[in-house]
Structure 1
């Protein structure tokens, strides 16, 4: 991939905004699709996203802003999707331009509710994108810290190493260090699972458990993650790397973590609906745990995923959080 490639970001939220900021450090032009036309006009006029990490100021002459997803996709070689998984399919229903000849990177970190698939598999199965043209952007990197230009690390995973290197180079700058990987399935599942474990950490905090228990919970979570990923995609990998353990830790502990925030509210007694309404943001782990729980019933023994099971029971079966976590504490070590 020696020629200059055109990149477009699909999404208008905080992570999409952060990715556009990163790409603008290296590229002269970045396509950017968002459906909010008022936000687009605001960015053109005021040079910042009015709704998400508004402290970031853009050189608007570098941006190809559009509310037409077909226009953004048609003009780009590489597409970076940063739409919450719950809304991905509804956005794609407006797409008329084929994706099978595009390079598609997911920065979504979620499971598509309509199919129960991780995003890469969803694009492959429904949109005929070859696996060698699918990649994942993952790692411990909150949008809010990108806005502050605090040093962060990203892993760019793709079966085609040259495509991974191209995207890694486009996203590497003074405050972003990148590395590449070929574990697109494992790293994407890890990005999904860490949101579930962050909800568990939030529930524990909301219930009044302290740092001592949280450390045990996170220790057990990485082992549970290892077992889960090994079962769905067995290759040699080190889950202690930043794309796995690092992302789990930052999502489980950070004040910027919306999944932890969501879990904390559940632990304090909020219903799922009331927590979502008050947050006014998407907690990917809520949707992910339903699909992850279904996968565990198919591929592994229930006793091997006690944290996933506990979060599922609280969120989807309406079980009491305090009682469920009391039972969970007897299964951790």
Structure 2
């Protein structure tokens, strides 16, 4: 079996995961559209735009030639932004072979279609979603590349594929669990970015720890509610892909979503925030998708709803908080339909 793994594309998370694979003595080829970036990775063993200060393994090579990147690869890891997932996968398709292990580590939706990334990939490659493995969990690229202890989850409908990916990535500092609930892992990883935006906004408004704790708790209830309605296992949202990823994304300055929310809370305009970030903030697109998904499924997502109005309808952050605090009284356990809960515990 080939020891080659292709990584598409060479952003911060793709580069960090490439470093884990290289640490496991696999030969990694990263694909990037930028010839200049490929040259830097190959000659200087750095990726300064996305992971400044990090030294990359010589086992990691880069190319702007898609065919060369994926030729003879045993596995292909796709880490394109959600907005580029279809285009990148379409470019990969002519060189795809059914024996390749397909993995993705992107947390978001295709905004136009509201489709998950595994659906987009399966449509473009004309393969079953069950052949795809999702990697998710609490994991900042900046810490992974430094070999800080990190734990993630890989999910697939196919147990053998999930275990194969577990074997590719698992090592002394990168622990990997498997999960059969691929739907739940994808939904949790995407939806938590909305709550992280809100947490950053709360910090930008200087609302303190009480407000942020409430936001994370009710946010978890909110994303669990919509996830279960869409068919996910509620327990997934209590695991690494759910509460684990939510905590790390909503409380750390490494998080682009938290930083973007903080700047919005301080009064900056969305366009200015995005320009200053210089990288994709998935939570913004996910908020837009969640707004329409909640309407499609008839599920209330009050935090996502208010963030949608702030991001896309010029509502002031303080007004959004007042709207959330002034909602009708509820019982705390209004999290999900009882019959759905019983379904998973029968």
Asked whether the 8 Å contact 1:43–1:50 carries over to 2, the reply is no
For 2:219 and 2:97, the matched residues in 1 are separated by 36
Deviates more, 1:81-90 or 1:206-215: 81-90
Look up the match of 1:310: 306
Q: Which residues of 2 match residues 88-103 of structure 1 at below 5 A? A: 88-95=85-92, 97=94, 99=96, 101=98, 102-103=100-101
Asked whether the 8 Å contact 2:139–2:152 carries over to 1, the reply is yes
Q: Match for 1:263 among 261, 271, 278?
A: 261
For 1:147 and 1:29, the matched residues in 2 are separated by 17
1:11-50 CA-partner distances (Å, limit 9, x unpaired): 1111011000000111331121111111211122112222
Q: Which residues of 2 match residues 173-252 of structure 1 at below 5 A? A: 173-235=171-233, 237-252=235-250
In the TM superposition, residue 192 of structure 1 has moved relative to its aligned partner by 0.5
Q: Match for 1:110 among 85, 108, 111?
A: 108
Q: Match for 1:328 among 321, 324, 328?
A: 324
Look up the match of 2:82: 85
1:69-93 CA-partner distances (Å, limit 9, x unpaired): 2332333232111111122234345
1:245-264 CA-partner distances (Å, limit 9, x unpaired): 10011101111010011111
Look up the match of 2:343: none
1:103-128 CA-partner distances (Å, limit 9, x unpaired): 32111111123432110011123431
For 1:325 and 1:86, the matched residues in 2 are separated by 29
1:190-211 CA-partner distances (Å, limit 9, x unpaired): 1100111101111111122110
For 2:297 and 2:154, the matched residues in 1 are separated by 27
Look up the match of 2:19: 21
TM-score between the two structures when normalised by the length of structure 2: 0.89
In the TM superposition, residue 285 of structure 1 has moved relative to its aligned partner by 0.6
Does 1:66 pair with 2:80? no
Q: What count of residue pairs does the alignment treat as equivalent?
A: 328
In the TM superposition, residue 5 of structure 1 has moved relative to its aligned partner by 5.2
Unaligned runs of at least 5 residues, structure 1: none
Unaligned runs of at least 5 residues, structure 2: 333-346
For 2:234 and 2:243, the matched residues in 1 are separated by 16
Asked whether the 8 Å contact 1:21–1:56 carries over to 2, the reply is no
Look up the match of 1:293: 291
CA RMSD of aligned residues (A): 1.8
SS at match of 2:235: coil
For 2:95 and 2:41, the matched residues in 1 are separated by 28
TM-score between the two structures when normalised by the length of structure 1: 0.93
Asked whether the 8 Å contact 1:159–1:182 carries over to 2, the reply is yes
For 1:278 and 1:236, the matched residues in 2 are separated by 37
In the TM superposition, residue 96 of structure 1 has moved relative to its aligned partner by 5.0
